[in-house]
């Protein structure tokens, strides 16, 4: 089962690890750079603002996809990455929906992304979201005006946040239960 949740500032390393697992081609497509080194990824991740949205898609404890949204001047700039073996499962659509909702609820007026001209999956995702795309010197830029927030957009975000808290609580409970059972087993073994 896949879980999509917001990342905390203490979890930025998970995002860096995910980006470093991307193939060289996928790194180039994601960042519109000819070559993207681990050092460049570390610098990029270190520059993520506390005010940005960073959501990860997890299989177990491993992040396999992510969306990063930064706000500036009424524009929400997004970047989406999905590891190869998890593509084709509509994960990009789910991450995009979260990005659009979060951006609207922070009163962003437009959504923007840039990728390599050869990044057809990201361009298809942008088109399916309603973004218009222009091409220039090997890059594709997509933009879309955003509707202002409404009761439903706020409610959807609150529900998603409550689901994250519930999942975190259930995960914590599992760990406490495992520790408790481990202590009982250890105590029983010592008595024998």
d(CA 64, CA 133): 26
C-alpha torsion 21→6→129→154, nearest 10: 180
- What confidence tier does 33 reach under pLDDT thresholds 50, 70, 90? confident
Question: How confident is the model at residue 9, as a pLDDT?
Answer: 87
Answer whether residue 190 shows pLDDT above 70.
no
Answer whether residue 192 shows pLDDT above 80.
no
When mean pLDDT is compared over 6-10, 32-36, 50-54, the highest value belongs to 50-54
The region, left, alpha or beta by phi > 0 then psi within -120 to 50, assigned to residue 126 is alpha
What is the dotted CATH code of the domain comprising 2-149? Answer: 3.40.630.30
Which of the pair, 100 or 158, is modelled with greater confidence? 100
- What confidence tier does 35 reach under pLDDT thresholds 50, 70, 90? confident
The per-residue b/e assignment along 154-182, b for 16 or more CB within 10 angstroms, e otherwise, is eebbeebeeeeeeeeeeeeeeeeeeeeee
Which of the pair, 21 or 152, is modelled with greater confidence? 21
């Amino acid at each position: 089962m896949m879980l999509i949740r917001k990342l905390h500032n203490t979890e930025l390393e998970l995002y860096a690890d995910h980006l470093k697992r991307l193939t060289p081609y996928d790194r180039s497509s994601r960042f519109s750079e000819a070559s993207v080194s681990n050092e460049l990824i570390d610098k990029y991740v270190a520059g993520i603002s506390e005010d940005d949205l960073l959501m990860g898609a997890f299989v177990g404890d491993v992040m396999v996809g992510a969306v990063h949204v930064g706000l500036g001047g009424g524009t929400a700039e997004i970047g989406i990455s999905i590891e190869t073996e998890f593509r084709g499962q509509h994960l990009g659509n789910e991450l995009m929906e979260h990005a659009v909702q979060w951006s609207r609820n922070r009163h962003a007026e437009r959504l923007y992304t840039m990728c390599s001209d050869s990044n057809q999956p990201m361009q298809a995702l942008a088109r399916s979201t309603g973004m218009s795309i222009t091409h220039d010197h090997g890059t594709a830029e997509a933009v879309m005006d955003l509707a202002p927030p409404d009761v439903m957009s706020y409610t959807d975000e609150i529900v998603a946040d409550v689901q994250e808290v519930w999942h975190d609580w259930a995960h914590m409970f599992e760990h406490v239960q495992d520790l408790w059972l481990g202590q009982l087993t250890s105590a029983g073994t010592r008595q024998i």
